[in-house]
Structure 1
Amino acid sequence: MDPIEEDLAPAAREEIERACTLGWRQLRAHTPWGDTFEGFTPEGRGVCFERSYLWEGEPGGDIRVEVTVYEPQAYEAGVSLVRTIHRETA
């Protein structure tokens, strides 16, 4: 892992944890949705955080959470993580 990726990876892990704090019921009204904002990695590198909530398949099913952390000039070199929030049955 190169030094930039070593810095971006912890920021991406932290952001995906935050992105998944809401449950399916809270997110269903806001899916699909995405946002990009500027912030800093643990080492102080200025980066963009991109977060998206998408339907995994059919609307109303599982929600796919995507997070990408990248330097503004190098999206392709960013770190991306994906998780699924499973539909609650109740």
Structure 2
Amino acid sequence: MTPDADLEAAAHEELERACTLGWKELAGHTPWGDTYEGFTPKGREVAFERSYLWEDEPGGDIRVEVSVYEARAFEQGVRLSRPIPKETA
């Protein structure tokens, strides 16, 4: 697995975890974000950023953003996002 593939795999895993909560559980905490240190599937030490943001307007769809990067190389990290539609509430 290449370094970029390792970061991408970690980002996909984190995005899946970030989307386990539904709109109802997240609406009261949006906007919200957190950064913490962790490890990729290959064991590299990285920073994980997770954010829950309103897609267009408060009370609408929620956008989940995840970034995974080495602390010294934010620009070379991987950023993914996925909407959580209000209709699923």
Q: Is 2:47 the partner of 1:86? A: no
Question: What amino acid sits opposite 1:15 in the alignment?
Answer: E
Comparing both structures, which one devotes a greater share of its residues to strand?
Answer: 1
The alignment's TM-score, normalised by the length of structure 1, stands at: 0.94
Match in the other structure for 2:61: 62
How do 1:10-89 and structure 2 match up within 5 A? 10-88=9-87
CA RMSD of aligned residues (A): 1.4
Shift of 1:89: 6.7
Unaligned 5+ segments in structure 1 are none
Distance in 1 (CA, whole Å) between partners of 2:52 and 2:10 is 18
Unaligned 5+ segments in structure 2 are none
Distance in 2 (CA, whole Å) between partners of 1:27 and 1:66 is 13
Percent identity, aligned pairs only?
69
Distance in 1 (CA, whole Å) between partners of 2:49 and 2:88 is 29
Secondary structure at 1:69 match in 2 = strand
After TM superposition, what 4+ stretches of structure 1 lie above 6 angstroms from structure 2?
none
